[in-house]
Amino acid sequence: MSIWEIIGGCLMLAVGIFIIIVVMLQESKQPGLSSSISGGMDYESRGRGKTSEAILVKLTKISAVAFFIITLAVNFVSVFFK
């Protein structure tokens, strides 16, 4: 195992954890039990707007592409540079 494979594996681990955190921060699109109890009015996120949600979606897409590229690069290095 080369140093580039180790670095790539660490990068994949870091990006994977980042993807999990960003996805967990996003709000659910489906109304849950709290929505049925409160009548569908969510007072906490009413004034928040779409900006934070749009940023989280964009971060998810960018980190998913980065994870894919890092995975391809690690595989490329392990196959061609032994």
Domain membership of residue 4 (yes or no) is no
Going from the C-alpha of 18 to that of each of 39, 52, 65, 70, 73, the distances in angstroms are: 34, 16, 13, 14, 19
Domain membership of residue 73 (yes or no) is yes
Mean pLDDT value across the chain: 82
Per-residue pLDDT of 13-36, as tens digits, reads: 999 999 999 999 988 777 666 555
Number of folded domains in the chain? 1
Domain membership of residue 77 (yes or no) is yes
Domain membership of residue 13 (yes or no) is no
pLDDT at 10: 95
Domain membership of residue 42 (yes or no) is no
At residue 27, φ and ψ (nearest 5 deg) are -85, 150
Range of the domain at 55: 50-82
Domain membership of residue 30 (yes or no) is no
Domain membership of residue 69 (yes or no) is yes
Question: pTM value?
Answer: 0.70
